[in-house]
A and B are shown apart, each in its own frame.
Chain A
Amino acid sequence: MKRQIPALASLLVVAAVLCVLPFILSDYNIYLAAQVGIFFVAVLGLNILTGYTGQISIGHGAFMAIGGYTTAVMSRDHHTNLVVTMLMALAICFVVGLIVGLPALRFSGVYLALVTFALAVSVPFIPLQYSTFLGGVGGVTSSEEVSNLWIYVAAWTCSAISFLLAWLLLRGRLGRAFRAIRDSEIAAVASGVELPVYKTLAFGISAAYAGVAGSLFVLATNGFANPDEFGIFLSLQLLVGAAIAGLGSLWGILAGAAFVGLLPQVSSSVPVIGHDQGRDVVFGAAVILVMLLLPDGFAGLVARLRRLARA
């Protein structure tokens, strides 16, 4: 119990800061903070998959696309309540995640990276083919628009719920099974962990998180879903966020989410390079530098600092 006090304290500090932020930030900065919240949910989800079970996914943007299109289409055709569409995105992505997770059982490592990468490149082509239902190049616009503050509150409420949920899920039997799979699949099976169940489950859970994030992501762009915003870049962003986050620490995930949520926006205003191109150049360079300098991500940095402080 004593060991959990600092963790609890940092959680409360983050929560307090998040409650105060909307009162002091400008509208645009609230939008940016909401972006961080959206990526928090997605990076947290991906972290469950890569950090806990050791499976890599370069395709989580595809699940965000499915979640986002669910929200946009339901809102356009049936004027469904937006929160309900988010829950539908969660359910649909959970199921799709289970389905994608099934073949993932057969292969690991590099092969899984290949398959998920191909998934991420393929999914944006599907709306182009079924353009009457999914809008084609023009995209789908939902019937409702929401304010930046609405998005902020929704994104961070979802973040809080998903963080709590992840903590509850991972502290017990499930988390132990996941970690056992990551450390050694053979040893995990030998100790009675049912590999198929837990590996697909990890994929499903993490896809469900990405689905909710995708739904929020579409709402944050005025309820407009189009194939371009769900390109391969989004998937790469998520993976980078998870890599920066390192393993399972709140601060790591916050840092990863802030990095991928803010850097593209901030780096658009880098002088020399210019408006649109700045994003990719700065982002790519930053990713490589972080990987070269911070091998265990931000969580590793925090752990290292803590060790230094104790010594």
Chain B
Amino acid sequence: MAGAESSAIAGLRRRGALDAGTATVWLVLAGAAIFLLIGCLRSTTFAGYTVQGLALGSVYGSLALALVLVYRATHVINFAQGELAMLTTYIAYQLMQWGLSYWAAFAATLAIAFALGTLLQVTLIRPVQHRSVIAVVIVTVGLFILIDGIVNWIWGADFKVLQSPFGFASFDVGGVAIPHKDVWVIGVVLVSVLLVWGLFRFTKVGLGMRAAALRPAAAALVGVRVDSMLAIGWGLAAVLGAVAGLMAEPFQFSLSPTFMQPILVYAFAAAVLGGLESPAGALVGGLAIGVTLTLIVGYEQKYIGSELQTPFAFAVLLLILLVKPTGLFGRRDVRRV
């Protein structure tokens, strides 16, 4: 009897249900959620910051998710992900200049982003992919510089303004003013993430992509076109990046060639916090970083002003890697000698 019970517990452990680490992570997350909830109920200022933080966090989360998609498939970080998002935001700006409505430009931009991401993977990444991690990293670094140059060349370095479809009105929820903008941003990011998740979970292409990421050789043997799957993965990452860029713009109030660089650092921190391998982790990480940064900048002006947001995110990134390198939802990497 006792033996059966312990084997049942062992079975649960194997599935990770009773894993001490996972339990701690859930406890910490639940604690943070309760803290935020109590704060929101007690102070309207706090609630305002929290909602804004969640909106910003969903932007960071979607860029982090783009990084995670690429990392899962090829074990490489695309350092040009932020700049790619910046470029696609400029494309949306240009389409709107040519007279398209916001949402038409939005849809067209996502399509262009997909094509661009796929094209870049096929032409630039594929030839160096099998060489070394450093080679791929340096190619993405080159892409970073190239995109920066192209955007400066075509649109110039001065600020551009996208007319926002969200307006400046706000909802009134129990005395807390919640801007329409924040709600829209959270909604748009959530819908895009759900669509991408659905694609991975319920379609044949998604199944192929998961197979190609997990076991490339075995996937190829059963007829998955691994190369095409990786290219589509880059395309989807570029789409998520474009969503992040378009949704980040209303918070910056303007568009400039460097506007995604700090956001890329926040997305790095978010992706690492989530464990770098876990899509859900990237989103949770993004929300956590967004809320933390907004609350800190909101309440603590003296030592960590808005200028020190990026260095602070760097410190967080460092701390996560030192204390818990696998992040919240990552797996420990076991290597054979």
- Which of A's residues lie within 8 Å of B, judged by CB? 50, 56, 58, 103, 106-107, 109-111, 113-115, 117-119, 121-123, 125-126, 128-129, 186, 232-233, 236, 239-240, 243, 273-274, 276-288, 291-292, 295
Contacts and interface: CB of A to CB of B under 8 A. Distances in A.
Contacts of A233: 145, 148
Contact of B146 (A103, A113, A123, A284): A284
Given A103-B321, A280-B145, A291-B142, A117 B153 contact: no
A236 B141 contact: yes
Given A277-B153, A283-B149, A121 B310 contact: yes
B134 A243 contact: yes
Given A240-B138, A291-B128, A280 B75 contact: no
B314 A280 contact: no
Contacts of B268: 114, 117-118
Interface stretch (B12-20, B86-94, B259-267, B281-289): B259-267
Contacts of A276: 152, 157
A236 B337 CA distance: 33
Given A103-B318, A111-B321, A288-B124, 15 more contacts: A106-B321, A110-B133, A115-B321, A121-B261, A243-B138, A277-B153, A280-B148, A280-B149, A282-B149, A283-B149, A287-B142, A287-B145, A291-B128, A292-B128, A295-B135
B149 A291 contact: no
A243 B134 CA distance: 9
17 contacts: A56-B137, A58-B79, A103-B318, A106-B322, A110-B71, A118-B265, A118-B310, A121-B261, A122-B314, A282-B149, A283-B146, A283-B149, A284-B142, A284-B143, A284-B149, A287-B139, A291-B135
Contacts of B152: 276-277, 280
B141 A58 contact: yes
Contacts of B29: none
A283 B144 CA distance: 10
Contacts of A232: 261
A286 B146 CA distance: 9
B308 A236 contact: no
A118 B330 CA distance: 21
A284 B153 contact: no
A283 B124 CA distance: 15
Contacts of B21: none
B174 interface: no
B134 to A, nearest CB: 6
B150 interface: yes
A118 B313 contact: yes
Contact of A281 (B144, B149, B313, B318): B149
B77 interface: yes
Contacts of A243: 134, 138
A287 B141 contact: yes
Interface string B46-71: 00000000000000000000000001
Given A121-B310, A122-B310, A288-B146, A239 B141 contact: yes
Nearest to B80: A284
A117 B78 CA distance: 12
Given A111-B272, A285-B146, A288-B124, A125 B325 contact: no
Nearest to A187: B337
Nearest to A112: B321
B307 interface: yes
Question: Among the interface residues B131, B141, B308, B321, which one has the most CB atoms of the partner chain A within 10 A?
Answer: B141
A117 B272 CA distance: 14
A123 B124 CA distance: 30
Contact of B317 (A115, A125, A186, A285): A115
B278 to A, nearest CB: 15
Contacts of B128: 291-292, 295
A56 B137 CA distance: 10
Nearest to B142: A287
Contacts of A58: 79, 137, 141
Contacts of B314: 115, 118-119, 121-122
A239 B134 CA distance: 10
A284 B56 CA distance: 30
A106 B325 CA distance: 8
Contacts of A128: 307
A121 B272 contact: no
A283 B145 contact: yes
B279 to A, nearest CB: 17
Nearest to B264: A121
A128 B304 CA distance: 12
A274 B307 CA distance: 32
Interface string B246-267: 0000000000000001101100
Given A103-B318, A110-B133, A288 B311 contact: no
A295 B131 contact: yes
B81 to A, nearest CB: 11
A280 B150 CA distance: 8
